[in-house]
Amino acid sequence: MKAIDIIEKKQKNEILEYDEIQYMVNSYVKGKINDKTMSDFLWLIYNNGLTLDETVALTDVMIKSGEEIDLSSLKMPVVDKHSTGGVGDKITLIVSPIVAAAGVCVPKMSGRGLGLTGGTVDKLESIPGYKLNLNRKQFIEALSKVGCAVISQSEKIAVADKKIYALRNEIGAVDSIPLIASSIMSKKIASGSDIIIIDLKVGKGAFMKNVKEATKLAKTMVKIGKAYNKKVICTLSDMNIPLGRNIGNALEVREAMDFFAGKHDKRLYELSVYISSLMISSAKNISFRRAKSIVLNLLENGYAKTKFYQWIKYQGGDLTKLKEKAKKYIVVSDKTGYVNSIDSNVIAKLVFDLGAGRKKKTDGIDYACGVILNKQLGEKVNKGEILGVIYYNKKVEDMENIFKDAFNIEKRKRQVKKIIISTVK
Active site members:
82, 161, 168, 183, 187
Q: Is 105 helix (H, G, I), strand (E, B) or coil?
A: strand
- Helical spans, DSSP H, in 49-119: 52-64, 91-101
Residue 219 φ then ψ, to 5°: -65, -35
CA angle 26–29–33, rounded 5-degree value: 85
Helix (H) or strand (E) holding 332: strand 327-332
**CA–CA dist 419, 52 (Å, integer):** 30
CB 404 within 8 Å of CB 389: no
Say how far apart CA 26 and CA 20 lie, in whole Å.
10
Pairwise CA distance, residues 396 & 232, whole Å: 42
Q: For residues 1 and 191, give the distance between their C-alpha atoms in angstroms, rounded to a whole number.
A: 31
| CA neighbor of 316 nearest in space, from 132, 187, 131 | 131
Any alpha helices (H) in 353-417, and if so which ranges?
399-405
Can you tell me the distance from the alpha carbon of 394 to that of 388, in angstroms, rounded to the nearest whole number?
A: 18
Query: Which residues are CB-neighbours of 333 under 8 A, at least 6 positions away?
Result: 375, 381, 382, 383, 384, 385, 386, 387, 404, 407, 409
Q: What angle do CA 138, 141, 147 make, to 5 degrees?
A: 125
| Closest-CA residue to 341 (of 201, 237, 239) | 239
Give the H or E element holding residue 276. Answer: helix 266-284
Residue 262: DSSP 8-state: T
Q: What is the DSSP letter of 78?
A: B
Q: What is the DSSP letter of 409?
A: E
Is residue 229 within 8 Å of residue 365, measured between CB atoms?
no
Q: In residues, how long is the chain?
A: 425
